[in-house]
Amino acid sequence: MIFKKSVSATLRAKKNKKYKKLKVRNHLTLIFKKKTMAKINFGGVDENVVTREEFPLSKAQEVMKNETIAVIGYGVQGPGQALNLKDNGFHVIIGQRQNSKSWDKAVADGWVPGETLFPIEEALEKGTVIQYLLSDAGQIALWPTVKKSLSPGKVLYFSHGFGITYKEQTGIIPPPDVDVVLIAPKGSGTSLRRMFLEGRGLNSSYAIFQDATGKAWERVVALGIGVGSGYLFETTFRKEVYSDLTGERGTLMGAIQGLFAAQYEVLRANGHSPSEAFNETVEELTQSLMPLVAENGMDWMYANCSTTAQRGALDWWKRFRDATLPVFSELYQEVAKGNESQRSIDSNSQPDYRVKLEEELKELRESELWRAGAAVRKLRPENQE
């Protein structure tokens, strides 16, 4: 309906000689861009998304055919995004420090030194799209070098809104004559690659912080399709980092570990064995229930469990919501104030960060909960010899 109305309005204007042909052409181009967006209802709220139906891979390849994508950093997101882009027919090179584990990993993945694998400074010069995929602390440290390479018209690409949103803390302020965009896959780089190889896609958010060329939208969407996104939904750099930091500290990692630990502790204190406590706390959730929730939703899960489990879940979920809501509210405010980002920068920039990190991970790894988990995982049928 919008398309027909806009075209008819343009044609009337043309007929009445109110617009020049150039203006008509520009208007139709704008309509075409809008046409590549789908409007989907999420829980009663309409949102704009881009799928591979509106923006197929062939169009993405056409948009990026003259671009060289330099992936800077081959750690968490770099391998999955780079390999997916390469397999999808884009021109990709890797920028990585020589004589490092990440350099060796890139070579093992098929990147060729001097052809598709270069020292960071050389890759920055060759690339027209700079995919800045170092850690947040790494981005801060390398930023003076990256900034020098950003000639007019290039694309500066992030997969996290951290550096731009907290620019007062990071010092990452791009020059005004480059496009600054974001594609944030909703999962790890490992998951992104694995799902790509399975013929599936990991959903991603996208954002435009700066459109210097007038082509930022088609460039960022093309890159989002290229890295293997299932679909793309709109956000901003600020909203992406606020939701991401909240999620990581909340249900995705921090809160769920806290729930695991609390329930396991209660079961053990009441005489349950480690294997029973782990199975009822972690194994059943991760191996049986969550895959079904992912496929069908929590309402389906509640409707398709035993009546005893159903009644208990319905009676208790709101109590857990009410108990944790103040903690989540406090967490979000800490993120919005920049306190969480500053803590991250201060901690991750310390020379002994890796040593202290290993101590914290050792505490988790050697806890009875996760030692029991290691034993349980070995007993899964697929892990039996």
Question: Which of the residues are catalytic?
Answer: 160
Burial of 301 (0-12, 13-18, 19+ CB in 10 A): middle
Tell me the three-class secondary structure of 131-187, residue by residue.
Answer: EECCCHHHHHHHHHHHHHHCCCCCEEEECCCHHHHCHHHHCCCCCCCCEEEEEEECC
Cα–Cα distance, 322 to 133 (Å, whole number): 37
Q: Which residue in 376, 380, 372 sits closest to 261, CA to CA?
A: 372
Q: Which residue in 334, 359, 348 sits closest to 249, CA to CA?
A: 334
Whether 234 contacts 205, CB under 8 Å: yes
Written as one letter, the residue type at 64 is M
Whether 63 contacts 36, CB under 8 Å: no
Cα–Cα distance, 380 to 377 (Å, whole number): 5
Q: How far is Cα of residue 137 from the mean position of the Cα atoms in its chain?
A: 17
Cα–Cα distance, 159 to 288 (Å, whole number): 31
Cα–Cα distance, 275 to 72 (Å, whole number): 43
Backbone dihedral angles phi then psi of residue 202, each to the nearest 5 degrees: -100, 125
